[in-house]
Amino acid sequence: MELAVVGAGYVGLVTSVCLSEIGHHVTCIELDKSKVDKLKKGISPIYEPGLTELMMKNVNLGRLSFTTNYLEGFKNKDVIYIAVGTPENEDGSANLSYVDDVAKIIAKNVKRDAIVVTKSTVPVGTNNRIQTIINNHKPSYISIEVVSNPEFLREGSAIYDSFHGDRIVIGANSEKAAKLIEEINKPFNIPIYITGIRSAEMIKYASNAFLATKISFINEIANICERVDADVEQVAYGMGLDHRIGSHFLNAGIGYGGSCFPKDTKALIQIAGNVAYDFELLQGVVNVNKKQQRILLDKLYDRFGNLKGKKIALLGLAFKPNTDDMREAPSISISSELVKAGAIVYAYDPIAIDNAKQILDSSIHFVYNIEQAIGGADAALILTEWDEIKNMDFNLINTMKYPLLIDGRNCIKLKDIKPYQIEYHSIGRSSVK
Ligand code: UGA
């Protein structure tokens, strides 16, 4: 089928590449010319395992192309995906100005009947709003129907998830539109669930909010485990054996970050607030996450009292491994607090260093390997569980001023660290001294 995708950000690019991989002809429209120039040369603006290879393969097969021109992008297309950003407004609500603009542009430029599919995460009711904007701006002889098709991809494994996801949700007002989008997605071989538009919009927010809730829940359990001498890993495993609970998203740590959970939880609280409903549980999840991002600092203060002049190494800066995404990464608040406290901060990340430099305090020493980060340090904090950091040579810890390792991701096994002369603390597990 002939498809257009508006937006070459994370969602738009992955959507374009994967839809072309299953055989569709996709034109990805992006206004940022420098981005399009790079994409045409096979350079991806984001780090996502497997993306560049799949992108180049489909460009070479003639199934995927990029343009800055809407008219060229919409030409002969049956379906247009909206995959532009919905950043957070100051009050936590989603900013829909990009989505609204694209809706107008589609209405004014499309020359034939089309389906518009919303991939962007948008508050309940937004697809109706898009439909209204389109109806108000399109010529009367053209019919355009809006369908909701939220994405459930994780950064760092988005390509894998595209082909191995648990479900594809399609929210539509008409059976005809739903069937067309179902047909497009069939080659993914993933169960398809067709719903009403508002339910599809809600499924996206409710899913992210529920996963965030699991994380905040296990983080609180971890904090209690530390105080009652239990081990959160054993607790999470034991809980997860119950299928009603499930074992996923029960890894305790320094809280969730990224472009989705922090934004979507706050947006859902807003959505509820707009209909005079106080989503108390989710507000608790957000509060707990904020508190949890501080947990390593509390451990450092407990240990040192004062951080002035202490050299602290940060290992991993991205909000999770296998991505260069720094958005809402716990490293942002942790490093800023350390700098404020007068600590000398050395920071290392295998991939996100360039992005980190643009966001984090300029007094931070950005280094290019673990050795440089921890040499002479008073303490090292693991903030992201990159393989390279999990599997680091513990003998390197001897180069520290004091061998203190605080693992914010519980990514090191206690039995592996025990043979070394290292003081090791983690989240909700016993310490090694
Ligand atoms: C999340 C969802 O998992 C995707 O299903 C969804 O499509 C995506 O948001 C989105 O809305 O676009 P993502 O933010 O890429 O994906 O990453 P996750 O793997 O979900 O991790 C989010 C955060 O939670 C990370 O900071 C991670 O470190 C943290 N986390 C995750 C934990 O602290 N503990 C866990 O057990 C799992």
Considering the domain boundaries, does residue 93 fall inside one? yes
Q: Which of 46, 153, 235, 409 to mutate to test the pocket of ligand 1 (most atoms within 8 A of CB)?
A: 153
Cβ 406 under 6 angstroms from ligand 1 = no
Rg of the chain in Å (alpha carbons): 23
Q: Residue 220: which CATH number? A: 1.10.1040.10
Cβ 257 under 6 angstroms from ligand 1 = yes
Q: Same domain for 168 and 262?
A: no
pLDDT at 32: 94
Q: Same domain for 59 and 133?
A: yes
| Ligand 1 nearest atom to the CA of residue 257, by list position | 26
pLDDT at 88: 84
Q: Same domain for 110 and 158?
A: yes
Half-sphere exposure of 314 (CA within 13 A, CB side): 34
| Ligand 1 nearest atom to the CA of residue 157, by list position | 15
How large is the average pLDDT for residues 259-288? 96
Cβ 256 under 6 angstroms from ligand 1 = yes
Are 224 and 429 in contact by the 8 Å Cβ rule? The answer is no
Q: Same domain for 365 and 278?
A: no
Q: What is the pLDDT of residues 373-407, one digit of tens each?
A: 999 999 999 999 999 999 999 999 999 999 999 99
The H or E element that residue 373 is part of is helix 370-374
Cβ 250 under 6 angstroms from ligand 1 = yes
pLDDT-derived band at 12, boundaries 50, 70, 90: very high
Considering the domain boundaries, does residue 37 fall inside one? yes
The strand pairing partners of 79, in sequence order, are: 3, 115
Q: Is the pLDDT of residue 93 over 90?
A: no
Q: Ligand 1 centroid to 388 CA: how many Å?
A: 20
Q: Same domain for 346 and 373?
A: yes
pLDDT at 432: 87
| CB-neighbour burial class of residue 172 (10 A; exposed 0-12, middle 13-18, buried 19+) | buried
- How far out from the chain centre does Cα 415 lie? 31
Q: Same domain for 299 and 284?
A: no
| Protein residue closest via CA to atom 1 of ligand 1 | 154
For the question of residue 260 being annotated catalytic, the response is yes
Last residue of a domain, one of 269, 291, 313: 291
Global confidence as pTM: 0.95
pLDDT-derived band at 117, boundaries 50, 70, 90: very high
Q: Is the pLDDT of residue 92 over 90?
A: no
Any idea which residue has 């257009």 for tokens? 4
Cβ 155 under 6 angstroms from ligand 1 = yes
How large is the average pLDDT for residues 133-142? 96
Q: Same domain for 389 and 413?
A: yes
Q: Is the pLDDT of residue 91 over 90?
A: no
Cβ 386 under 6 angstroms from ligand 1 = no
Considering the domain boundaries, does residue 431 fall inside one? no
Domain count, the chain: 3
Cβ 320 under 6 angstroms from ligand 1 = yes
Q: Ligand 1 centroid to 386 CA: how many Å?
A: 15
Q: Same domain for 96 and 52?
A: yes
Considering the domain boundaries, does residue 158 fall inside one? yes
Q: What is the pLDDT of residues 38-79, one digit of tens each?
A: 999 989 998 899 999 999 999 999 999 999 999 999 999 999
Q: Same domain for 284 and 322?
A: no
DSSP letter (8 states) at residue 88: B
Q: Same domain for 236 and 297?
A: no
| Protein residue closest via CA to atom 5 of ligand 1 | 152
Q: Residue 338: which CATH number? A: 3.40.50.720
Distance, in Å, from the CA atom of 374 to the CA atom of 396, rounded to the nearest integer, reads: 8
Is 384 assigned to a binding site? no
The per-residue DSSP string of 363-384 comes to TSEE-SSHHHHHTT-SEEEE-S
Distance, in Å, from the CA atom of 144 to the CA atom of 300, rounded to the nearest integer, reads: 58
Q: Which of 28, 225, 260, 411 is catalytic?
A: 260
Q: Is the pLDDT of residue 131 over 90?
A: yes
Secondary structure of residue 154 in the 3-state scheme: coil
pLDDT at 64: 97
Q: Is the pLDDT of residue 433 over 90?
A: no
Considering the domain boundaries, does residue 104 fall inside one? yes
Q: Ligand 1 centroid to 280 CA: how many Å?
A: 22
Q: Same domain for 8 and 142?
A: yes
Distance, in Å, from the CA atom of 161 to the CA atom of 3, rounded to the nearest integer, reads: 21
Considering the domain boundaries, does residue 227 fall inside one? yes
Q: Ligand 1 centroid to 258 CA: how many Å?
A: 7
Considering the domain boundaries, does residue 432 fall inside one? no
Q: Same domain for 278 and 301?
A: no
How large is the average pLDDT for residues 179-191? 98
Last residue of a domain, one of 260, 291, 322: 291
pLDDT-derived band at 308, boundaries 50, 70, 90: very high
Q: Ligand 1 centroid to 262 CA: how many Å?
A: 10
pLDDT at 94: 84
Considering the domain boundaries, does residue 430 fall inside one? no
Enclosing domain of residue 233: 203-291
Distance, in Å, from the CA atom of 426 to the CA atom of 60, rounded to the nearest integer, reads: 48
